[in-house]
Structure 1
């Protein structure tokens, strides 16, 4: 939650007034990233969506490497416009604009890189998350993090940004009942602060961003960390009446999930499918 300090001001005649000033809970993150391409951090107490804020800045050289972080999103969303719901101050909600443009045909690999970064940062703080295609991280079967990347093409190049939401504090009104998968929370297993976790994520992103020169290397690493090969999935294709069971094999061209169903391989497009559960 937001902290406040009261600033005293002496007016003519000796009258003293107190003005409340909202403290930036992510000042330690900014200090930790000083001297890196990710030192530019903008904290806004409330916004509609950090992705919406970042979208207007893509392509602006002055915004390269900027992170926009908030305590509360009034219209946060994931894939297909699904709502991301978190009580004020309970989640780490931010969007980071990558410092450099990349080839437009490599954009599909950015969410997989973001997944690796989030997984590694959580692991630093004792949170053993499991990556799930295409853009989630799970903890004990519950969703602890979601990723939604955005981009803006400029010819053959593109600017990209990673929008990330991580459930940190469990509150009475963090999520509606019967949501699937149910939410999981960092605080259930770790005492790391939101500011320290954000610093770890940005440090991991700085360390790994050179991988964007080789998208196939990113997805091979993602497959390894997610233990994709042989994992049993239940998949629901949008528009189909029933889900189906399949065995994960690999990530295909453009980020599709290649699975085996009844002895036959098929590619699942991330735009029209969702994983209902991952039995392991």
Structure 2
């Protein structure tokens, strides 16, 4: 965001070996052991303000592309899934997370979006309330440099496909094809409490569609959990 305020035109990646002041979603603790990928992409005027949340699905698909490519010809390659709204899973265990931050900068006020993307490459956190894994546990030759190269190329391709939101319907369809827990029982933790139901899809704006006893509910943001989603037995997880 400092680069955006200084007039940078965007499409600029920042990559860190460690993030000493990194921030997790909703103020959660952020750990950054060396060897993992910590990257942020700055986009300036990527779309209209109301379409900016779609970028979470764009980077999610690019991340899926990059990790799947790194795991090509491995037993876990088919177990890479996207969990709404901002996680990537391998065999049901979290391997990566995404965080978007938007601000208006300059005059007359262009939209700047920082897309943060952290991937467990050689290490995964312990003591988390959910299973975690790292890329090297599935693809031993993987490293953060080659993964970043694949991610940056995939993101450029996905941004072109998205076309400033004009082609979001196609990306939404592609995201749902890779979605974790689609059609299964789910619970969503919200500031006002939890909602329970069945995850049935995304609406045209990317909101979660939760089929509950009271009918179909649309949820903009929240923590999604699948009580019956378990890790696949053929995927090794060294951290759990």
In the superposition, the TM-score normalised over structure 1's length comes to 0.70
* Gaps in structure 1 of 5+ consecutive residues: 1-54
In the superposition, the TM-score normalised over structure 2's length comes to 0.80
Whether the aligned pair in 1 keeps the contact of 2:20 and 2:32 (CA below 8 Å) is no
The 1:209/1:57 distance shift into structure 2, 3 A limit, reads same
Structure 1 residues 165-204: aligned runs within 5 Å: 165-170=118-123, 175-177=125-127, 179-190=128-139, 191-204=141-154
The 1:133/1:278 distance shift into structure 2, 3 A limit, reads farther
The 1:100/1:267 distance shift into structure 2, 3 A limit, reads closer
Residue 125 (structure 1) aligns with? 70
Whether the aligned pair in 2 keeps the contact of 1:132 and 1:226 (CA below 8 Å) is yes
In structure 2, which of residues 152, 156, 160 is the aligned counterpart of residue 206 of structure 1? 156
Q: CA RMSD in A?
A: 2.3
Residue 171 (structure 2) aligns with? 218
In structure 2, which of residues 29, 32, 35 is the aligned counterpart of residue 83 of structure 1? 29
- The offset of 1:276, in angstroms, is 3.1
Pairing 1:259–2:210 present: yes
The 1:100/1:192 distance shift into structure 2, 3 A limit, reads farther
* Gaps in structure 2 of 5+ consecutive residues: 72-76, 230-240
Whether the aligned pair in 2 keeps the contact of 1:145 and 1:166 (CA below 8 Å) is yes
Residue 23 (structure 1) aligns with? none
Structure 1 residues 89-128: aligned runs within 5 Å: 89-98=34-43, 101-126=46-71, 127=77, 128=79
The 1:61/1:102 distance shift into structure 2, 3 A limit, reads farther
Moved over 4 A (4+): 154-157
SS of corresponding position for 1:73: coil
Q: Report 1 or 2 for greater relative contact order, CA contacts < 8 Å, sequence distance ≥ 6.
A: 2
The 1:131/1:91 distance shift into structure 2, 3 A limit, reads same
The 1:261/1:188 distance shift into structure 2, 3 A limit, reads same
- The offset of 1:131, in angstroms, is 0.4
Greater radius of gyration (CA): 1
CA distance in 2, matches of 1:139, 1:122: 9
1:44-65 Cα offsets, whole Å, 9 max, x none, are xxxxxxxxxxx21225553522
SS of corresponding position for 1:114: helix
Report the count of equivalent residues.
Answer: 217
SS of corresponding position for 1:58: helix
Residue 143 (structure 1) aligns with? 94
The 1:156/1:256 distance shift into structure 2, 3 A limit, reads farther
